[in-house]
Structure 1
Amino acid sequence: MSLLIAGSIATDHLMSFGGRFEDSLVVEQLSKLSVSFLVDDLEIRRGGVAPNICFGLAGLGLRPVLVGAAGEDFADYRSWLERHGVDCSHVRISESKHTARFVCTTDTTMAQFASFYPGAMSEARLIELEPIVERVGTPTYVLIGADDPDGMLRHTEECRQRGYPFIADPSQQLAFGEGDLIRQLVDGAAILLTNEYESHLIEQKTGWSADDVLARVGIQVTTLGKDGVRVLRKGEEPIVVPAARNVTAVEPTGVGDGFRAGFLAASEWGLGLERAAQVGCVLAAYVVETVGTQEYTFTRPEFLARFEDSYGPDAAAEVAPHLAV
C-alpha cells in the first residue's frame, strides 16, 4: 500500500511586517488599493502543499510518493526531500517553466498577503496516476491538494474511474474555483479536508448545505485554528479535538499541511479518527513554531512527551508503537 500526495510544488518567499495590515487599509478606498509594506526580513524556503505534507509524513516514518510538476530548478529541492524519505521519482519536470513560487507577507496578527506564480504547476494536468500506482502499489489514499485546477480534476476523475480512495483537499483553489469544479473535486471523497472558512466557501459556491456536503464524503475534517479540529461522519457524533498545548506561534504558513501529514500518518497506522486528529495537531504545532514549512525537527521522545502533555498518557501509549522517528 502507498500514499500518493498530489499538489503544488513551490518555493516560498516569506516576509514579516512589524505592524498590522489593517492600520494601512481604508475601507472606503479598497477599490483604489495601492499600498506597500517595509518588511523586517526575508526567508526563502521550500514549499508547496504536496512536498510539505510529504515531508511531515516522512518525518513520522512513512515513505510518501510525491505527485506533481516542477521545473529544472527542482534538483536541490528533490535532493532535500529524498534525503528526508520522500519518493520523488514520479515528479514531472517541465522543459520550459520554473517551479511554482509562493510570495507571502505576514503581519504581527498573523494576517497575510500572498501571491502565487504557478509556473510548471500547470503541467500537473499531464500526469496520469495509473503508471505510478503500477510501480508503487495500490494506494491507501490519493490526496489531491491545491494544484493546477485541470490537474486536480484529472486526478479526481481517475481516482473515481480506477477505484482509488481519494482525499479532497482543495484549499487555496476554492477561492478561484466555480461551483461546478468544486462539486466535482469534493463529491465521493473518502475524506474532505478544509479549514473552517473553506468549509463555508464550499457551501456557498456549490449551493450545498452542510448536511449535503457531509452526505457526499466519507469523513469531513475541519481545522479550527487555535480551537483545534472537528471531525464529522454521517450518523455519528462529532469528534472535537483541542489544539496542542503550549504552542508559541511564529509563522503560520504550512500549518495545515503539517496537520494533514499527522492525520494521514495516524490513519495509515490504523489509529482512530480522534488519535489521527491529535497527531495532526501536534505535528502542526511544530510547523507554526518555525519559519518555513519544512524546517522543524523533533525526536521520538520529544514528540511523545508533547503528545502526552496535550492529550494524556493513554492516548500517547496508543501512538508510541507506531512512531519511528
Structure 2
Amino acid sequence: MIHVVGHTAVDHISRVHHLPEKNHSTHITERQVFFGGGAANIAAGIAVLGEAVTLHSCIGDDFAGSDYEQWMDKLGIHRQFFVVPGTHTPTAFMFTDDAGDQMTFFEWGASKAFAAAEAPALPLVHMATADPEFNCRVAEKSEFVSFDPGQDVFWYTKEQLESIIANTDILFANQHEVQQMCTTLGVTRGALTKEVTMAIFTMSSDGSTLYIGGMEHFVPVVPVKLCDPTGAGDAYRAGFLSAYVKGYSPLTCCRIGTVTASYVVEHAGCQTHLPGWTQMLERYHTHFGTLEQPALRG
C-alpha cells in the first residue's frame, strides 16, 4: 500500500496567450474545470496503474456526493479524509500561456485543517503539497518517506526543510523548487542531493536527473504532442512510486515515471488521460526497450 498525503482540489485550468505583468491583464482563451490537487493526482495515477493507494487529505462539506467523490470510488482510491464543515474543498486556478509557462493561485480552503491534524505513522508515504508542519510530523513518524515540496516550497522555513529532509528517503522536485530549497537552506544543489538516499529532479521538456550513490543518471522525456503540462510532475511521481513498490531499480522507475507523464500532457486535466500499466508498457518498450525484471525489495 502506498500512502499519499496532501491536497485534493478542484482545478480551474485556463489558457492565455501570455502571462501578464503586475497591474496588467490578459484574455482567457479557454477555461475548463478538472479534478486535481497534487496528492489526489498522484493517488489517481497510482490507482490506474494498478497499485493499492490511500489518500490522506482535507476536504470541505461540498465533497460528499460530488462527481469527484464518485470518480475516486470508481478508481478504488482508499481515503482517510479530514472533513472540515463550512469550508470549500481546495481550489486551484491555473493559467498556462502559449510558451507552456504557468501561474497558479491556490485556495487552501479545508486544507487549513492540516495544521492541527494528527499526523499518521505510515509504512511508505509520499508527501505532496500540504501544510509544512504537518508534513514534518508525518516524516518523523513514518518508516519510508518520499517528499515533494511542490509549489508550497516557498512556505517552508529553513528549520522545517532541514527537519523533513533529514527524514526523507526520496526527494522529488522540479528545477524551480530545487533552486528555492537551495536558497532557503543555504546549500548547493550537489549538497542537497547528498542529504537523501536518492533525489529526482525534473526539468520540464529537458528531462529529469536521478541522483543516487554519488552518481547522476539523466532520463530524457518521451516526445509527444503537448496539450497541457499541468499534472506532468504528479504523473511522474505516480509512475515512479508504482514501479518502486514493484521492485524496479530507481533508474527504471524514473523512466516509467517519464512515460506515465507523457500520457498526461497529451490532454488537458491532471486525471483525464492516466495510463494503465499495460498501456504504459507499450510506450516504455518503444522508447526505452525491454523492461527489466523487478527485484524483491527488502
Question: What is the 5 A alignment of 1:125-274?
Answer: 125-130=115-120, 139=123, 141-159=124-142, 164-235=143-214, 237-245=215-223, 247-274=224-251
Q: Is the 8 A contact 2:128 2:148 kept in 1?
A: yes
1:117 paired residue number: 107
Decide which structure has greater helix share.
1
2:41 paired residue number: 52
Separation (CA, whole Å) in 1 of partners of 2:199 and 2:49 = 23
Distance 1:188 1:149, change over 3 A: closer
How far apart are residue 262 of structure 1 and its match?
Answer: 0.1
2:44 is the alignment partner of 1:61: no
Output the TM-score relative to the length of structure 2.
0.92
Match of 1:80 among 64, 71, 74: 71
Separation (CA, whole Å) in 2 of partners of 1:147 and 1:48 = 10
Residues 40-85 of structure 1 show CA distances to partners (whole Å, capped at 9, x for unaligned) of 1211111101110000000110121000111111222222112112
1:28 paired residue number: none
Moved more, 278-287 or 289-298: 289-298
Q: Is the 8 A contact 1:228 1:243 kept in 2?
A: yes
Separation (CA, whole Å) in 2 of partners of 1:156 and 1:304 = 32
Separation (CA, whole Å) in 1 of partners of 2:15 and 2:101 = 10
Q: Is the 8 A contact 1:241 1:278 kept in 2?
A: yes
Residues 191-231 of structure 1 show CA distances to partners (whole Å, capped at 9, x for unaligned) of 01101221122111101223432232111111121122111
Separation (CA, whole Å) in 1 of partners of 2:126 and 2:274 = 24
- The structure that has the greater radius of gyration is 1
How far apart are residue 112 of structure 1 and its match?
Answer: 1.6
Residues 274-296 of structure 1 show CA distances to partners (whole Å, capped at 9, x for unaligned) of 11001100110111111111001
How far apart are residue 300 of structure 1 and its match?
Answer: 5.1
Percent identical residues: 26
Q: Is the 8 A contact 2:42 2:238 kept in 1?
A: yes
Gaps of 5+ in 2: none
Q: Is the 8 A contact 2:50 2:276 kept in 1?
A: no
Match of 1:20 among 15, 18, 36: 18
- Cα RMSD of the aligned pairs, angstroms, is 1.9
Separation (CA, whole Å) in 1 of partners of 2:279 and 2:245 = 21
Q: Is the 8 A contact 2:59 2:89 kept in 1?
A: yes
2:78 aligned counterpart, secondary structure: coil
How far apart are residue 256 of structure 1 and its match?
Answer: 0.3
Q: Is the 8 A contact 1:6 1:68 kept in 2?
A: yes
2:5 paired residue number: 6
Separation (CA, whole Å) in 2 of partners of 1:34 and 1:170 = 29
Match of 2:89 among 99, 102, 119: 99
Separation (CA, whole Å) in 2 of partners of 1:295 and 1:253 = 11
Output the TM-score relative to the length of structure 1.
0.85
